[in-house]
Amino acid sequence: MRYKKIGKRRTTYAALRFWTLTMLSVLVAIMVFFIVKSYSKAEYALSNDVLNNGDVKGGMEGALGIQPEAEWKLVLVNKDNAMPYGYEPTLALVGSGYYFDERASEALLDMLDACRLEGLNPAICSAYRSIEQQTELYSEQIEKQKKAGISSEEAEVKAAAVVLYPGKSEHNLGLAVDIVSTDYQILEEEQESTMEQQWLMDNCYKYGFILRYPKDKQEITNVIYEPWHYRYVGIEAATYITENNLCLEEFLSMIE
């Protein structure tokens, strides 16, 4: 009996020790999780800061009432404005193999859902591209242009109007997406006649997107008409840009 009692006490002690250790492990795991989380948040804020101090035109608090915290949405990346060196957006998955800036990913998914609710079939064919992917595309485009028998310099200029130089494409920023009709996936002007493109052009601003390279703005954007390339700028800016038939360059020069 005496032996049994001790045994029981020992068992109770072992169980107590087991649960204490388990609880402690759980607590440590929770602490580690939050420490890592706050660390990545700090990093995120840092890259955000880099981004905001990059090519954003200063003073967004103008007559348009756009707040400074909206600046990341309005970063200008084009032929003359490269992305801040080393900038990498925090990404979220928006489709099979396609990523987007996580701050705008919900808006993109909502827009695609709304389009599908109309019985249409939009398909993402390009979203975020790393600098490496952009370099590949750009090189391919130069080779393609060279086949027409023009000089290397000419080929580079022509290639840049179709595929922007690495670091100068909004796709590197994670805020641009190419959307096509599932039934017609060729990236050419006729893309504009698809029901999907018609719907997107009419409704994208409601989700904070603009058709970034309109037909009548090619001289300002220096990019061919692309009735498939949408850029996230936020609902306020997208609404203003659409209502006033502007391109992003024109809009930013107004609020400068």
Would you tell me which residues interact with Zn ion (CB under 5 A)?
178, 229
In Å, what is the CA distance from 104 to each residue of 41, 160, 162, 246? 17, 26, 25, 21
Q: Minimum CB separation from Zn ion for residue 212, in Å?
A: 8
CB of 175 to Zn ion, least distance (A): 11
Task: Please state the closest distance from residue 160 (CB atom) to Zn ion, in A.
Answer: 14
Nearer to Zn ion, 217 or 229 (CB): 229
Closest residue to Zn ion in the complex (CB): 229
- Specify the DSSP class assigned to residue 82: P
Q: Which is nearer to Zn ion, 163 or 241 (CB)?
A: 163
Q: Smaller CB distance to Zn ion: residue 88 or 178?
A: 178
Phi, psi of 128 (to 5 degrees): -65, 135
Query: How far is Cα 71 from Cα 236, in angstroms, rounded to an integer?
Result: 12
Please state, in angstroms and rounded to a whole number, the distance separating the CA atoms of residues 179 and 146. Answer: 28
- The residues near 165 (Cβ < 8 Å, ≥ 6 apart) are 79, 82, 134, 138
The yes-or-no answer on residue 226 being catalytic is yes
State the Cα–Cα distance between residues 62 and 49, nearest whole angstrom: 20
Catalytic residue from among 192, 226, 249, 256: 226
Q: Is 51 or 179 the residue whose CB approaches Zn ion more closely? A: 179
CB of 126 to Zn ion, least distance (A): 6
Residues with catalytic roles: 226
